[in-house]
Structure 1
Amino acid sequence: MEKKHMSAFELYKTLSPDLPPTATKSPLQVANKKKRKKENGASKVSPIKAQIKPERKPERKKMRKKSAQREESLKEITEDEECVNGHGDAGEALDALLADLAKVNNSRERASKLFQWLINPIPVKSFFRETWEKKPILVQRKNPDYYKGLFSTAEFDRILRQDEVQYGVNLDVTSYTNGKRGTHNPPGRALPFTVWDFYESGCSLRLLNPQAFSSTVWNVLSTLQEQFGSMAGANIYLTPPGTQGFAPHYDDIEAFVVQLEGKKHWRVYSPRSEDEVLPVLSSTNFNQANIGKPILEVVLEAGDLLYFPRGFIHQGNCLPDAHSLHITVSSFQKNSWGICCTRLSLQHWK
């Protein structure tokens, strides 16, 4: 297949800032510089100043301590606001939020604050009252750095190079062309040069259980579980420009599509019948003829969020001018009293 798409790894390298090389000094140069500084400093200090300094040191130390405490208090307030609103430098909002949450002893409070960051500006209570398991909802922020630090193409490449990623277990290579869905997983380990070759040929990459390789994703999911009252999972999807990796289908999960890089065109459809409302199992692949018209059609850009309940048919495709990297945070898979009782009864009759 003709290679016509830039490698995502090459793409993220082109986006990296060009920093000037740091000049290195030999140990002898460093030692001589310190010696000259010490000699020059000693000659400039007057006897009077030398006598006053020890007396003023405790006072200065006390003033510096108070100043540092004030700055720390202001910093905490600012970070709290930035974590919720998504301002600040790239990745700092999420890092600051996770650091603050680590100080909270109540696990439910931690989960609620993190979930508020995920769906902001929608209030948590109104989300569960009006949207959860009922309808899709879209959050467009016009802030591409809002989810910065959660995951990236560079992190994807690092995982491929450093970890034991296996095809079919941790990574799927997929395509959807001319109405046909394909999976192209070779056996064995997913080596970086092979994976990026698939990508350049127009295939999508799905990283399963990224929390096994990313401490940040693990931290986020383990915290959110308390909010959902169920296991939280995730998949990472990297799609080349102008392609689609999956056929229209519905899932058995509550899905939070978090756009990390690039953009993606999404279409969401209502369940076709009552039997498909909040289903226990995922669907087979559909074609365009039997899914009707979408109730929501949107282009997600970095920093945006799309939620849809299980049973809602959906499909996403990349536009010709941009790749897409998103993480789908999932919950409530096979999580009901009916399923629990069924499992218990099956165990009883074994």
Structure 2
Amino acid sequence: MGMKVGIIGCGSISKYRHAPEYKANPYVDEIVFYDRNIERAQELADLFDGKVAHTLEELLSDPTIVAISDCSSNESHHVFSTQALHNGKHVLCEKPISLTVEHANEIVRAQKTSGKNLMVGHNQRFTRAHQKAKEIIQNKELGKVLTFRTTFGHAGPEGWGVNKTNSTWFFKKERSGLGVAGDLGIHKVDLLHYLLDDHITHVSAFQGALDKVDENGQPIEVCDNIVCSLKTKQGYLGTAAFSWTYYGEEDNSTIIYCEKGIMKIYHSNEHQLEVITKDGEVIQYKLENIQTNDHQTNSGVIDSFIEAIRLDQTPLVTGEDALSSLKVILGIMEAAETEKVVHVL
């Protein structure tokens, strides 16, 4: 007998990632959809052969539902994820875990009280190129890490969201909160923590709403670009750029510079991981292409979440992991606003 799962929030992330990946998972039997807009829930239920919960209460009090994906917008995660955990459900919460440390702590506390799994959808850890890169760093194949640079940018969320217009919630301060930093930046912060097995402790940054406008033609209320300098606990130094204005091509690349060579990740379309040694030797790995908004592939997040529940394991991205990435992003926002170096605790 397979599992029954619920999804809260029936926007693009549910439609293109969560629902199809649950549907494809052999251990999941049925999906129940809830959205404040019942038509949206009905649309996905029809698409994925699922059912609709008419109220949140109906979804959360159903004892046959084992796990919940919280795909609500950023400002609601602490409400829905916390309630789902307290109702004895395993929870997969979309990133960022929340917009404030206080709200993130609320979710993490609910996880501890409930004893259920809480996983956060930082999907960069799941790609084979990133996992291989971590292995090379861990095995010290290129000696120790010295510096790094990473970027994540595309043409912006207005082409991805449900309504495909500039009125997208990603551009609204009270719902998106963190602009491109919370949308794309937090993914790379989590990735750096994972790859380097370290934590970013000091940050500085510049940000701006350089090009995006809202539905009234006004500059958006959150940043569409942010450029950062980062230092980790172990003393690695790096830079990061996050953008909603890479018009023409998405960039999701990372370069790690080590004592004995360089690792380029998602730098070339042909080879997802390239190692260039100090002596000029080039080793190329052909692993799977990374997911882009235009090219949806299985992210591995749902499969990993279901496996953690089945085997009673700690999820690959815990609430604590997500909280530490959020703290860095909040530090970056503070650094950009104050033009000071911020120490992330």
Instruction: Give your verdict on TM over 0.5.
Output: no
When you count strand as a share of all residues, which structure comes out higher? 2
State which structure, 1 or 2, has the greater radius of gyration over its C-alpha atoms. Answer: 1
